[in-house]
Amino acid sequence: MLFKKIGLVARRNSPNIGEPLRRLSALLRQLDCAIILDTDTANEHSMSDVQIVPADQIGKVADLVIVLGGDGTMLSIARLVAPYRIPLVGINQGRLGFMTDVSVTDIETVIPRILDGDFVPEERMLVQAKVSRGDHDIHSALAFNDVVFSRGSLGSMIEFEIFIDDQFVYSQRSDGLIVTTPTGSTAYALASGGPILHPTVPAIALVPICPQTMTARPIAVNDASTVEFMLTRGQEVKVHFDGHSHFDLQEMDRVTIKRYRNSLRILHPVGYNYYDMLRHKLHWGERLF
């Protein structure tokens, strides 16, 4: 076996995930693999006969992490394991995901092949964001999908300036801005009119959210670029990281975004095709009537 210590992370508050989780655990025991569960998964499914560690520690002890649930669960664990360069495999609960592409019905046939090294690897980039106020850095976070700037509950647009590699690009008045990785290009950015970026494209895209001017358009830049957002006007403005955490911004705060030093490796089953997945998820080619 190429991987012997397997971390398992299941979607929270999802009772239906218990059965495939136990099937997978039984399979891994048959294959003489060590099983490691994050604390939440172990507690929710009453599993005590395995090694249990906090989710942010699973990357230290596992060779591979298998995620059961959906793309949201993949997002949350991706940021935790990226510093350790641990690959991920995603098992979906019945609906094909953009990243979770192994069906629960195929666990017994696909997982042994992946553990033996029979898989299609794919490298996905992350970005790291740093919030600065005056001369001090006050917050930092990783994002696998996107970094999103949004207006507050008062409803007024926000105003900001964008710099790329210290060069002024534009000032904008809008509901916000999405700074997306190729992975995140099929999420919120797509709904906001952004481009679909193949995961292998070395780029970061900036997608305005309901800009005041019709000439504002998405722009893609090289992934080696440093993007800086400076809030010039706005109340209750927040910056969100993958929709899982956020930070409150004040006027003249700056947020610097650049590619994270590590990429994340996702292991797909043999036969995986990115365009097949897009066609299925986005219903391309279906008859309109």
Kindly list the catalytic residues: 71
Pair 109, 118: CB distance under 8 Å: no
Dist. CA 284–CA 207, nearest whole Å = 23
Structure token digits, residue 207: 């997608």
Give the largest Cα separation in the chain, rounded.
Answer: 61
Pair 44, 22: CB distance under 8 Å: no
Pair 177, 229: CB distance under 8 Å: yes
Pair 66, 37: CB distance under 8 Å: no
Rg (CA), the chain: 20
Dist. CA 150–CA 158, nearest whole Å = 8
Dist. CA 92–CA 11, nearest whole Å = 10
Dist. CA 22–CA 254, nearest whole Å = 46
